[in-house]
Amino acid sequence: METYKKWVRRNKDYVHSLESLANGSTWLLPERFSASEIGPEAVTAILGIITAINEHIIDTTPTQRHVGPMEPNSFPYSLCISAIKDLETLVEVAAQHYFGDNKKWNFIAVTEATKVLVRLILFRNSGYKMLLHGGETPNIEKHSDVSSSQHNARGFPKPGSRHGPNGLNPWNLEGRALSALSRFGENARMSSDPVWLRRAEHQQAIMEPPSSAIERQTLSMILSEKGVQGALFLMGEVLFIIRPLIYVLVIRKYGIRSWIPWFVSLAVDAGGVGFLTQVTKSWDGGKEQHYHLTASEQDELKRRKLLWALYLMRDPFFTKYTRQRLQSTEKLLEPVPIIGLLTAKIVELVVGAQTRYTYMSGS
């Protein structure tokens, strides 16, 4: 295993190129989006897990100045969350194949509950810091009393202060191929911050001496020091974490074609973002806001707002409105050579992806 780690760390660019090629090619596998697609989804899940493991190996590259563990708790929660997200579609496909459309939601609910549990543990162990990209990206940027400050005393950017527009991460697993079609708010990550900069920021955080680390906050500390703003922040983050599970449970009860799950999920999303937005806009007697978000956390909040576009892809809104618009566009461009064929293929892939990747996207 150590030999493999050394090889991955020495050939980072080569590994990234292979991962991008392999993940993109999975969308062209035979039987993708067909009635029996266990094989293609299994291949996709395995490739996704391998990608997550490689990214974890690169992110945890030791340095000469680094002494001791990178985090107080060495369990790789980010890697665990990435693996669960890669497996959940395979679980859905297998459950649907062997148990039917109705009973598959029992297995999906168990998968989502597991993901929620891991995220809540990560949220607590991180000192109740905002989860970046659902916990897949470590929140290593330090909070400062001056929210506009982006540099430390030595003049270098703080770790995590640069994630490109909207705080998007170009190597997050959700950046694969056509997921941009079902995850509108996240496709900008592919053109955002270069890989070397994110790695440099991560390594800088690792190399900082333990004396500079801020004491991990507890629940009582946040409530006593931040008061109402702290409570609102905690409520907003918990709502974001549990939203996918609530959505799946309501679908399990009322069905995917009902408007009730759609509105319930939207209400939970709006409530969570609303609480967090209120925290950032709260002023105390004209003074500076009481609860500060780091630059990466502010970008994460923007990303979550952009993810509301996913509701255009979720049933029943998709079936009643979005799909009709897509089909109208397809018919309009059908007579145009090449463009008509490409449009038809894109619409086919969007419709197929909508059935698998939208109820849990953005989580």
Which residue has better confidence, 254 or 141?
254
What's the mean pLDDT in 34-38? Answer: 61
Q: What is the pLDDT, as a whole number, of residue 33?
A: 52
| Segment 355-359 long-range contacts (CB within 8 Å, at least 24 positions apart) | 355/33, 356/33, 356/89, 356/92, 356/93, 357/89, 357/179, 357/182, 357/183, 358/182, 358/310, 358/313, 358/314, 358/318, 359/244, 359/247, 359/248, 359/251, 359/256, 359/314
What's the mean pLDDT in 112-136? Answer: 93
The single-letter DSSP state of residue 76 is -
Q: What is the pLDDT, as a whole number, of residue 140?
A: 81
pLDDT at 59 over 80: no
pLDDT at 358 over 60: yes
pLDDT at 131 over 90: yes
What's the mean pLDDT in 317-337? Answer: 91
What's the mean pLDDT in 292-298? Answer: 87
| H runs (alpha helix) in the chain | 2-10, 12-25, 38-59, 77-125, 179-182, 195-207, 219-226, 228-254, 259-281, 295-306, 317, 323-333, 339-357
Predicted confidence band of residue 35 (pLDDT cuts 50, 70, 90): low
pLDDT at 267 over 90: yes
Q: What is the pLDDT, as a whole number, of residue 102?
A: 86
Q: What is the pLDDT, as a whole number, of residue 141?
A: 72
User: For 282, what's the count of Cα atoms within 13 Å in the CB-facing half-sphere?
Assistant: 20
pLDDT at 58 over 50: yes
Quote the mean pLDDT of the chain.
74
pLDDT at 149 over 70: no
Which residue has better confidence, 184 or 240?
240
Predicted confidence band of residue 278 (pLDDT cuts 50, 70, 90): confident
pLDDT at 160 over 90: no
The single-letter DSSP state of residue 72 is S
Q: Using one digit for the tens of pLDDT, what is the confidence trace for 201-254? A: 555 544 444 444 446 788 888 888 888 888 999 999 999 999 999 999 999 999
Q: What is the pLDDT, as a whole number, of residue 158?
A: 40
Phi, psi (degrees; rounded to nearest 5) at 65? -90, -10
pLDDT at 169 over 50: no
Residue 325, CA distances (Å) to 223, 257, 332, 349 in order: 48, 18, 11, 15
Which residue has better confidence, 1 or 246?
246
Q: What is the pLDDT, as a whole number, of residue 63?
A: 59
pLDDT at 171 over 50: no
pLDDT at 165 over 60: no
Residue 276 CA from chain centroid, whole number: 17
Asked if omega into 170 is within 30° of 0 (cis), the reply is: no
- Beta-carbon neighbour count of residue 250 at 10 Å? 18
Query: How many Å apart are CA 98 and CA 103, to the nearest integer?
Result: 9
Which residue has better confidence, 318 or 21?
318
Q: What is the pLDDT, as a whole number, of residue 264?
A: 96
User: For 200, what's the count of Cα atoms within 13 Å in the CB-facing half-sphere?
Assistant: 11
Phi, psi (degrees; rounded to nearest 5) at 295? -60, -45
